[in-house]
A and B are shown apart, each in its own frame.
Chain A
Amino acid sequence: MNSYAYTLLIPLIPFFVFLFVGMAEDKLKGKLGGLIGTVGLGIATFLSYYTAFKYFITDHVHGTAYTSVKAFEITWLHLTEKLTINLGILIDPISVMMLIVVSTVSFMVHIYSLGYMEGERGFARFYSFLSLFSFSMLGLVLATNLFQMYIFWELVGVSSFLLIGYYYEKPSAFSAAKKAFIVTRFADLGFLIGILILSFTTGTFDFQTLVDPNGPAISSAGGAAFMGLSLLTWALILIFVGGAGKSAMFPLHIWLPDAMEGPTPVSALIHAATMVVAGVYLVARLFPVYALGGPVALEVVAWVGAFTSLFAAVIALTQTDIKRVLAFSTMSQIGYMMLSLGVSGYGGEEGLGFMASNFHLFTHAMFKALLFLGAGAVIHAVHSNDMSEMGGLRKYLPITHMTFLIACLTIAGIPPFSGFFSKDEILVAAFHSNKILFGIEYLVAGLTAFYMFRLYYSIFWGHDRHYHHTPHEAPLVMTIPLMILAFGSIFSGLLPFHHLVTSDGLGFDSHIDWMIAAPSILIGVVGIAVATLMYKTENSRPAAVAKTFSHLYRWSYRKFYIDEVYLFVTKKIIFNYISRPVAWFDRHIVDGTMNGIANLVVFCSFNIKGLQSGRVQQYGFVFVSGVVALVLIFVYLL
């Protein structure tokens, strides 16, 4: 027990809310279920902020490194003398930072949904799922060991499945839920194998032992086991596969756009701010192992991140569903975070990328949740997701308009908004490590500014469409979270992350490098300017551009046909050439054998029933025969 033991309440409160609201669903009239959920999460949020304050400020001795603290731990399963599965709570800079992110965004979404989900069937069910998700996500970020993280990782996947499929009567929602679950589950297989290899080579699941630079994990790095890479590197690559699945990295990204079928607050919470960054968190959590034990794996992380950020940005240029644009932009931004981790070194200023990645994770959570909730307010007003059915909304939705504009400027990297600071750190880290990666990210920054302002102008400018009724501003419970998140988007860039969240716990000084910052602002401005030119008033330029680059446009619009490739591989190749023969074997050989055994068992069971005659003298006879048989076998024969 120590002074952080109370943190156990942070995940447990949402868990009990989930149980209570889930079980009493029918009895909770009106908004009662939502209010219980919101109050519960409010307490958890308060505790998270208290923890952050205590950890970063009151308990910290100035000038020393931040250490990780095990607030609580129990052993759940003994596998061997050394290897145990524990459940507990780990407090360190990144987990505390994630506590703030998860609880803030979740709390905002809880409040917002009181308005957005009003009158939906299963209102209480929605809140019980939200609480389940919050519990799982908090458990994930607080995990003390890889296996606990894996357990909560799967729980997060389940709650995401439940929430995407919230409108389960809609076939598209249902299949999107399945798709998300299956794709991430497939990636998690890699994660599990990675965990098993890692625990096999190091003999531990515990994070504190794993990330210790002098510990068994990092010292086991040497040697080439398979295809020129060490076992540890393979384990790290496989673990990253799991992270890539959850964080929608190419080529495992196909579930994220479809996941937008879920209610918009869910997209904001799960598919923008928290769950999808779990992959980044996973790599950050094991960062010392990656940096010191498997630099090759870290390079993989960097390239996958860079490619995804470019790939997703290009697709986002042409999409017309506003939530999908935001989904691709999320992928692109997570690509940034991965890249930043990938180019980082360990310790001091070398760890700039690590800090930048977490910084960007933090600011991104704020502005991306704001964008999604803003989009939700728009959808709430016009009852459509499609850009072509929107226009001129700025006069009807003034608060949404202002907050959305702030978020767009933030993501475009315009100072003094927070996105500028975090993105600038990433670009600096990339610049000092690899010029090609830097070039890609520089280009993506421009594309981002362009497509975000394309979105912004299409929604809020241009002329009115034929709306069924005059669009109206969302109620106060929805706009207050928007304003709070807008506040966060503006000012969270001023947080001294380089003193708080660093790769080795020690702070370092960082300054804005204007040689890099100035061009990055410039390309952002160029992106915005081009978007303004094309979309502020309706004109023929977008159509002309689309026509000039018609192939590229079509490829981007169809998301580079990745979904079709998946369908071809699964339906045409796997189903026909693997599944069918296996199914035949299963139906005829395996089932045949099993049915044979079952028939045999039934036959035997029918034939021995004579033993149970009900005559006690016969029971005595069998008893004595048994004794005699044992005596014969064990006294005379053996």
Chain B
Amino acid sequence: MSLIEILAMRNELLLTIMAMILLIIDLNLNHAQKERMIPISIGLFLVVTLIGFIPQPDQTIFGGMYHTNGLVQLMKNILNIGVLIILFQSVSWLRSPANSTKISEYFFLLVTTLIGMNFMISSGDFLMLYLGLELATIPVAALAAFTHFNTKSSEAGIKLLLSSALSSGILLYGISMIYGSTGSIYFDTIGAAYVNVPLQVLAFIFFFTGMAFKISLVPFHLWTADVYEGAPINITSYLSVISKGAAAFILVIVMFTVFKELAPVYKNMIYLVAVLTMTIGNLFAMRQKNMKRFLAFSSIAQAGFILLGILGTNKMGMTSVVYFVLVYIFSNLGAFGVVAAIAAKTGKESMDDYDGLYLTNPKLSLLMMLSMFSLAGIPPVAGFFGKMFLFTSAASGGYYWLVFIAVLNATISLYYYLLVVKAMFINKSDHPIATFQSDGYTKIGLMLCALGIFVLGFWSQVYEFINNLSFGI
């Protein structure tokens, strides 16, 4: 294998180098200088993100364990953009006295989990997938416990670790059964050998539940609420957007390649899980008064919609999943960004605190409204098209009842998304959150979200571009 071939892994290599550089620089800084890590890290990450957009030929290396192509690179770029926005949004939180000594740890851990996700998406066999998955999960547990002096935060870290240990165990069990029944762990060779025999169905179910845990599908979702609430807001947004997006990407790839012969069986399973996830996620989200918990549950319901695209099992299905995740990143990060900005300045996280926000902070309120509209799927913002393509792809597979249930759920979700809008624009408050100015980094992070929500709604070339890279069963 030549040096050039190694460069196929440029995203992972660059991120690894970046992580090392961060550690080395950090060693040479005293306490007062730690804040310098912020521009350095964001600058380095921006470079990595931009390099990701340089076209690259399709390649397979390490005897098929690692592969890259246009679609994989696109998925990595989408995740990079999301992480970049999160980095921008976490600056004011990092600058607070409690965290200012641990700035480089934050960036280091975040980059490490991203390396794991990149390996996961690029994996060509189950071992690589599993390694990537673990690398993506364990540092997140550390991040969830980042403010360890806060009991809720350390509780979140421990709960995430324990739950993910359980799910990894089951996942690994499933992989071992796949290997046992087919004699291979490579995606290419398993595909043809995989048929509807009980052992292989069992193995698939175990694998699927492991992934369902990452995407937080019902009934494998219970960890989400506690972890999302306890973890620092930026980590919550990372978990609910980037982790979930990466897992959805690899799930759709694996379903469409490795398990394609099993489609008649897994379609029923996904049908069931999709209905459960959308409905139960919505029922929980309706009652939440804490903004973080509210967004956590609403993100469970959103994950249910992703499954509709997987059910389509055609080219459009994959396109709609990738497109939806892209839109979802901007919309959800917009909402989380506003919550984070407000929490960093005032410490308020309850929905009641948002009463009358429009009068004091109109720009934040408008972005929040835009994000809510996008999450609820109101045209013409991007979220509408994201949902519409998912529904179209499920309908083209003949799942009219499922689409009907999904539309009902989308309507229910409209109710609670609009509650936030109502609080900000209609409710009166005697003690509204005072007018404040965010710092430049936060502003950039929020602007990127607003831009994404608008541009994706009006610029259909993005969908076309994804569609050209996608494939169906």
Contact = CB atoms under 8 A, between A and B. Distances in A.
A608 B279 CA distance: 12
Given A76-B460, A619-B223, A601 B283 contact: yes
A75 B412 CA distance: 32
A78 B222 contact: no
Interface string A597-638: 000011011101101101010111011111100110111001
B159 interface: yes
A627 B220 CA distance: 9
Contact of A631 (B202, B213, B272, B460): B202
A61 interface: no
Contacts of B463: 78
Interface of B is mostly: helix
B460 A77 contact: yes
Interface in B315-353: none
Interface in A279-311: none
B206 A608 contact: no
B167 A623 contact: yes
Interface string B163-202: 1001100100000000000000000000000000010011
A605 B286 contact: yes
B286 A627 contact: no
A614 B226 contact: yes
A635 B163 CA distance: 25
A637 to B, nearest CB: 10
A1 interface: no
A609 B285 CA distance: 11
A622 B222 contact: yes
Contacts of A75: 460, 464
A74 interface: yes
B222 A627 contact: no
Nearest to B467: A78
Interface in B207-228: 208-209, 213, 219-220, 222-223, 225-226
B460 A634 contact: no
Question: Which of B201, B213, B464 lies at the interface centre, i.e. has the most chain A CB atoms within 10 A of its CB?
Answer: B201
A620 B162 contact: yes
Interface in A49-71: none
B365 to A, nearest CB: 15
Q: Interface majority SS on A: helix, strand, loop or mixed?
A: helix
Given A616-B223, A620-B163, A635-B202, A605 B460 contact: no
A612 B225 contact: yes
Contact of B268 (A614, A619, A624, A638): A638
Interface string B278-297: 00100110110000000000
Given A76-B460, A620-B163, A626 B201 contact: no
A604 B286 CA distance: 11
A627 B170 contact: yes
Nearest to B265: A634
B269 interface: yes
B465 interface: no
Nearest to A626: B219
B209 A616 contact: no
B337 to A, nearest CB: 21
Contacts of B209: 623, 626-627, 630
Contact of B163 (A74, A616, A626, A627): A616
A300 B265 CA distance: 59
A318 B286 CA distance: 63
Nearest to B210: A627
B461 interface: yes
B400 interface: no
Contacts of A638: 265, 268
B458 interface: yes
Nearest to B459: A74
Given A602-B286, A616-B162, A627-B209, A634 B269 contact: yes
Nearest to A86: B460
A608 B283 contact: yes
A623 B166 contact: yes
A486 to B, nearest CB: 43
Given A623-B163, A630-B209, A638-B268, A609 B222 contact: no
B402 interface: no
Contacts of A633: 269, 272
B205 interface: yes
Nearest to A608: B283
Most buried by B among A77, A604, A635: A635
A414 to B, nearest CB: 51
Which range contains the number of A residues in contact with the other chain? 20 to 34
Contacts of A608: 280, 283-284
A627 B226 CA distance: 21
Interface residues of B, number: 36
A623 to B, nearest CB: 5
Contact of A609 (B198, B223, B265, B287): B287
A618 B223 CA distance: 10
Interface-centre pick from B166, B167, B208, B458 (highest chain A CB count, 10 A): B166
Contacts of A624: 166, 170
Contacts of A622: 219, 222
B286 A601 contact: yes
A562 B283 CA distance: 53
A616 B463 CA distance: 41
Interface string A216-234: 0000000000000000000
A624 B201 CA distance: 17
B289 to A, nearest CB: 13
Interface in B366-390: none
Contacts of A630: 205, 208-209, 269
Interface string A12-32: 000000000000000000000
A611 B224 CA distance: 12
Interface in B424-460: 458, 460
Contacts of A616: 158-159, 162-163, 223, 226
Given A616-B159, A627-B206, A605 B219 contact: no
Contacts of A605: 283-284, 286-287
Given A622-B222, A634-B268, A606 B287 contact: yes
Contacts of B460: 74-78
A125 B413 CA distance: 36
B466 to A, nearest CB: 12
Interface string B9-49: 00000000000000000000000000000000000000000
B208 to A, nearest CB: 8
A623 B219 contact: yes
Nearest to B223: A619
Interface in A362-405: none
Nearest to A606: B287
Nearest to A627: B209
A634 B166 contact: no
Contacts of A631: 202, 205
Contacts of A612: 222, 225-226, 284
A625 B283 CA distance: 21
Contact of B219 (A77, A614, A625): A625
B198 to A, nearest CB: 5
Interface of B: 158-159, 162-163, 166-167, 170, 198, 201-202, 205-206, 208-209, 213, 219-220, 222-223, 225-226, 265, 268-269, 272, 280, 283-284, 286-287, 412, 458, 460-461, 463-464
Given A612-B226, A634-B265, 12 more contacts: A75-B460, A76-B458, A78-B463, A605-B283, A605-B287, A614-B226, A623-B163, A623-B166, A624-B166, A634-B269, A635-B202, A638-B268
- Complex A-B, nearest 9 residue pairs according to Cβ-Cβ distance, in ascending order: A626-B219, A619-B222, A605-B283, A630-B205, A627-B209, A616-B159, A635-B198, A635-B201, A620-B166
Interface of A: 74-78, 601-602, 604-606, 608-609, 611-612, 614, 616, 618-620, 622-627, 630-631, 633-635, 638
18 contacts: A76-B458, A601-B286, A602-B286, A604-B283, A605-B287, A612-B226, A612-B284, A619-B223, A623-B163, A623-B219, A624-B166, A626-B209, A627-B205, A633-B272, A634-B265, A635-B202, A635-B205, A638-B265
